[in-house]
Structure 1
Amino acid sequence: MHLLAAQPGGIADGGEAVDLGQSPGDIVFASAADTELACFARAQASLGTNAPSLRLANLMNLSHNLSVDNWLEATVSGARLVIIRVLGGESYWPYGVERLTQMCRDRDIALALLPGDDKPDSELAWRATLPPDACERLWRYCIHGGLENATECLRYSAELIGAPAARAWREPAPLARAGLYRPGAGQIDLDEITAARTREDRPLALVLFYRALVQAADTAPVDDLIAALEGHGLAAVALFVSSLKDPPSARFVETVLDAAQPDIILNATGFSVSRPGSAQPSPLDRSSAPILQVVFAGGTEAAWAAGTRGLSARDIAMNVALPEVDGRILSRAVSFKSERRFDAATESGIVAHTPRADRIDFVARLAKNWARLARADIAERRVCLVLANYPNKDGRIGNGVGLDTPESAARLLRAMQAEGYTVDSPPADSAALMAALQAGPTNAHGLRDKGGAGARFGLDDYLAYFNNLDPEARALVSERWGAPED
């Protein structure tokens, strides 16, 4: 059987044997989590060239038995300490666990087989060659996460193999389930936020994101978004949570919202608290600020650019459709998973979130506009409600599968009027709304003019709009209908 070289940008599916191409290292660390591997790569870089050598491997590239055998002989055989995080227990990686245990026992290599989550696993524990207290400490470094814990884990590992670091290791430090974050400062206190709110007259933007990014030291999109918001004149702070459904996280969010009273919230967490057709209270309900949904995409930028629908189905479900159930306002994707880059120090492919500057800037400007709108008097706000008008039947106006869009629109207009918005003669019901819409021009085939009521433009006005279209779109229109002047 042939071995395929591990390819940048991909993960093996187990159908083919893969050669990771790694030389032996003093310490070998393997996990199925890209974010964890990226964090340990950063930790190794922070320790300098005098630290014991480290090899990182993704277990998803070691699904094939031949891949395991090759990696054990080429890399693990020369290690002094092996740390493996197995999500799902021994049954997830049975051949690897068996062969690795055998090699480490035969060659007197220190071994820690750790659960890939925060649940103890006795089946993995008994296979370790390290003492239980050492395995427990290594596991706690991993489950607490973050760059500091990863760095201390490597310092502790160095001592385990008799090569202590220049500075003594520290015990694992728990990371709060939710906390405030600022680039370069890590976690900050709530007092800093309230003081800034009192001191500054700028609108305050609150960025909400997942704790997992702090654990993985993968906060580049958050850092860049905060910088862009501040560059556009907003004060900005970030808040990380395990989940909006996690009770401690939810309580902390409510506390922060009460104290900070942000003008705009940018939510980068996925899913929804409510279910379609069944509204549930969300901790973000504590604030009346507009909430923009910001997407940290799970796919690569190349796949997004090449795809006909943009984001993947998974990203659309997690970051677009479900957040809309909670009333979020979609902005756009501002970050993508980077293609695998080769990290020479650990001889591994690293994946991380990579922000797009132009899309970050767009969202920052959008947030500024929403914050400004939120501060304007209600009666002065100019709001446009847009319904779909699909060709070529009037029955498709405001069409939404399983939804009564016209009735929703009619109720929304009446509710806005009750809140003080300027709404002249809101429709009494959906029938009145549809009658008003169909009285003017629509896309119904053969009825566009409705007896002369169609929308018409002078040639100069038409060309002003037409020339702003994409050149390809203009060419298609002209090919189908002729030049505007004809």
Structure 2
Amino acid sequence: MECSGIHRWRIKDTGKGWKWKEACALEAFKMKRTKIGFVTGYTGAILKLLGKATSELNEQGYPIEVQARYQAVEIDDEFWDWLKNEADVIVVNVHSCHENYNVLKQVLSEVNVPVFSVEYGGEPLSKNVEPEALATLTGYFMYSGLENIKNMLLFLANYCGNIKLEVPEPKEIPWHGIYHPDAPNIFDSLEAYKKWYKKSKGWNRHTIGILFYRDHWIEDDTAVCDALIRAIERRNVNVIPVFSYLGMKVGMKEWGIESIDIAQKYFMDDDKPIIDLLISLQGFYLVSRTIGEWVDPTTEGMDILKRLNVPVIKAVTPYYKTIEEWRKSSEGIDALTAAMDVMMPEVDGVIEPIVVGASEKIEEATVGGTFDKREPIEEQVEFLVDRCMKWIRLKYLPNKEKKVAFVLHNNPCAGAEATVGMGFGLDTIESMVRILHKMKEEGYDVGDDIPETSKELIDTILSRKAISEFRWTPISEVVRKGGAAALLPKEKYLNWFSELPDKVKQEIIETWGDPTDLSKEQSEDANWAKLSMGLYEDKIVIPGLKFGNIFLCVQPKR
């Protein structure tokens, strides 16, 4: 009988469990206690695996103690002292961007025990270890999973000379695949997944893909992804949730893994997209290349989007905010999340970043640390999926029925006439004319009188006074010259206004005046409110031009 499947000692099976446990305990009695210290970055969710692995090994009689901390939270002095004075071996997987990085470097400089550094940015921190041993440990850590983490701890105890056993090599675990919370296993092909899905849930007309991190799957941190899956399926839409190590191109040269095109393998069937839309839970670029401690985009990301030819919606989970902190925050997401989950994906063409979850702090009592676990914000999940459904509806709507609005920029600190269509280094008016003509070719309803040149378009905007400038241009003149694209009844606006939260209503009143109290004809406040609303004969003037189903306007005052 093999002991728990984690090492290669064999003992005769007597058929009586107590003798087997006693035998394991006798072997453990010969072992020396091993104290292992961990400092880890990213989400710190591996602390959950470390805790479970340590508990199971202790139950099996292995005297292993693990103390682990997540780099992104404040680390107590007691832990740093424990690393310096008690740890037999230290493992770090950290990034230099965190404030405690220099403290960690100082601590490591003062210890003489083996230090294994699994790199993902920054300078090498390993010391007192052979390259072969570092490569083996990195294999356990990167492949991850409970079995690999348990064997990693045994490997470290063995490396320190505190136990003597032959530990299995790191077990290969998939770098990518299709996941579903109801499935008995992951799938390495679209064909196998579709077969299971059709049998279990049927197959509907529309399909949404999800791209999320492998780490979230391997570390059981899929709550946000699961919430998206459930919300999509409640709308009778198929879902294909795919995990990858990073982005749409998975390749690990150092592990001998060939580059895999995620889009081609999981989101296309017979070289045609099988999905109507993709939700990305990943940050960075769709295809990245590592440059030092950071990543740069490649043109491959845009090439993949062209082949898929579907909208890619960005689902955001802030890195360093809890759900409560996010709700109370006036700024929304933090700067790092804005950079990695909004700006970088937009380089490829990923759109509509919407917060769907946040990080909740979880304590791992066995290893003494706290880590981040992603939890969904249910109403935000529903909002994002509703947006997805509207995008899918738009996909199948004939072009001639689609209604499109274009908003031209103008400088809020200058007269609208001087800055219509302003764009640094861009001829936005000429671009607008070309877009209108291209839309006509594609079957959109653009009416019969679209401008032929940029001069004709800008002259039309200015001559009709189709601008949001009511201080110097009488509202009656905007209407008389044809610059009002629509007249919205005041009562309809007031109904919308009444549905706003009280805080928002008060901010509007303080900035633009009170739209509900216009009775004081001569009061300054009432006149300002009327002016800011653009009231004409009890209707709100919406300046702009209409070309069939196309609405073109200048950015309103703000």
Aligned counterparts of 1:430 and 1:271: Cα–Cα separation in 2? 37
Matches within 5 A, 1:313-352: 313-338=335-360, 340-352=361-373
Q: In structure 2, what is the equivalent of residue 414 of structure 1?
A: 437
Q: Of Structure 1 and Structure 2, which has the larger fraction of its residues in strand? A: 2
For 2:278 and 2:125, the matched residues in 1 are separated by 45
Match of 1:311 among 333, 351, 355: 333
Q: Report the equivalent of 1:283.
A: 304
Deviation at 1:204, TM superposition (A): 0.9
**Equivalence map 1:15-54=2 (5 Å):** 26-35=34-43, 37-45=44-52, 47-48=55-56, 50=59, 52-54=64-66
Match of 2:117 in 1: 115
Return the offset for 1:383: 3.1
- For residue 496 of structure 2, the aligned residue among 465, 471, 483 is 465
1:482 is displaced (CA, Å) by: 6.2
**1:75-94 alignment runs, 5 A limit:** 77=86, 82-85=89-92, 87=94, 93-94=104-105
TM-score of the two chains, using structure 2 as the length reference: 0.66
Between the aligned partners of 1:62 and 1:356, the Cα distance in structure 2 is 26
Q: Is the 8 A contact 2:409 2:422 kept in 1?
A: yes
SS at match of 2:434: helix
In structure 1, which of residues 240, 244, 265 is the aligned counterpart of residue 243 of structure 2? 240
**Aligned partners of 2:125 and 2:346: how far apart in 1?**
43
Partner of 2:446: 423
Residue 179 in 1 paired to residue 189 in 2?
Answer: no
* Per-residue deviation, residues 212-266 of structure 1 (Å, max 9, x unmatched): 4345443332222222211222111222332346565562322323226101111
Q: Does the 8 Å CA contact 1:389/1:443 hold for their aligned counterparts? A: no
Structure 1 residue 60: Cα displacement: 6.9
| 1:62–1:68 Cα contact (<8 Å) kept | no
Residue 365 of structure 1 is aligned with which of 386, 389, 392? 386
Say which SS state the counterpart of residue 44 (structure 1) adopts.
helix
Equivalent pairs, count: 439
- For 1:362 and 1:250, the matched residues in 2 are separated by 32
1:88 offset after TM fit, Å? 7.9
Offset at residue 55 of structure 1 (A):
1.8
Alignment partner, residue 16 of structure 1: none
Tell me if structure 1 keeps the 8 A contact 2:250–2:262.
no
**1:138 paired residue number:** 137
**Aligned residue number for residue 225 of structure 2:** 222
**Residue 253 of structure 1, aligned match among 246, 263, 267:** 263
Which one is further off, 194-203 or 291-300?
Answer: 194-203
Instruction: Please give the root-mean-square deviation of Cα atoms over the aligned residues, in Å.
Output: 4.1
- What letter matches 2:452 in structure 1? A
- Amino acid across the alignment from 1:447: T
Please identify, of 263-272 and 449-458, the stretch whose mean Cα deviation from structure 2 is larger: 449-458
Listed as ranges, the matches of 1:390-401 within 5 Å are 391=412, 393-401=416-424
- CA–CA distance in structure 1, aligned partners of residues 366 and 410 of structure 2: 57
Give the match's secondary structure for 2:333: coil
Q: Distance in 1 between matches of 2:305 and 2:454?
A: 31
Contact 2:494/2:516 (8 A) holds in 1: no
In structure 1, distance between residues paired with 2:338 and 2:304: 23
1:449 equivalent in structure 2: 475
Contact persistence 2:312–2:350 (CA under 8 A):
yes
Task: Determine the C-alpha separation between the residues in 2 that align with 1:33 and 1:385.
Answer: 43
Secondary structure at the residue paired with 2:403? coil
Q: Which of 59, 64, 68 is matched with 1:56 structurally?
A: 68
Return the alpha-carbon distance in structure 1 between the equivalents of residues 102 and 516 of structure 2: 67
SS of 2:320's partner is strand
Distance 1:177 1:482, change over 3 A: closer
Amino acid at match of 1:414: H
Structure 1 residues 59, 99: CA separation in 2 closer, same or farther (over 3 Å shift)? farther
Structure 1 equivalent of residue 82 of structure 2: 71
Q: Counterpart in 2 of 1:264?
A: 277
Following TM superposition, by how much is the alpha carbon of 1:150 offset from its aligned partner in structure 2, in angstroms?
2.5
- For residues 382-425 of structure 1, what are the alpha-carbon distances to aligned partners after superposition, in whole Å with 9 as ceiling and x for unaligned? 33334456645234444444444433333333323222222224
For residue 163 of structure 1, report the CA deviation from its aligned partner.
Answer: 10
Q: Percent identity?
A: 22
Q: TM-score, normalised by structure 1?
A: 0.75
**Are the structure 2 counterparts of residues 178 and 430 from structure 1 closer, same or farther at C-alpha, using a change threshold of 3 Å?**
farther
Unaligned runs of 5+ in 2: 1-32, 252-257, 288-295, 520-558
Structure 1: gaps (5+ residues): 1-24, 105-111
Match of 2:544 in 1: none
Answer yes or no: is 1:381 the counterpart of 2:426.
Answer: no
- Amino acid in structure 2 at the alignment position of 1:257: F
Amino acid at match of 1:443: S
**Structure 2 Cα separation of the partners of residues 184 and 162 of structure 1:** 40
Following superposition, the deviation at residue 333 of structure 1 comes to 1.5
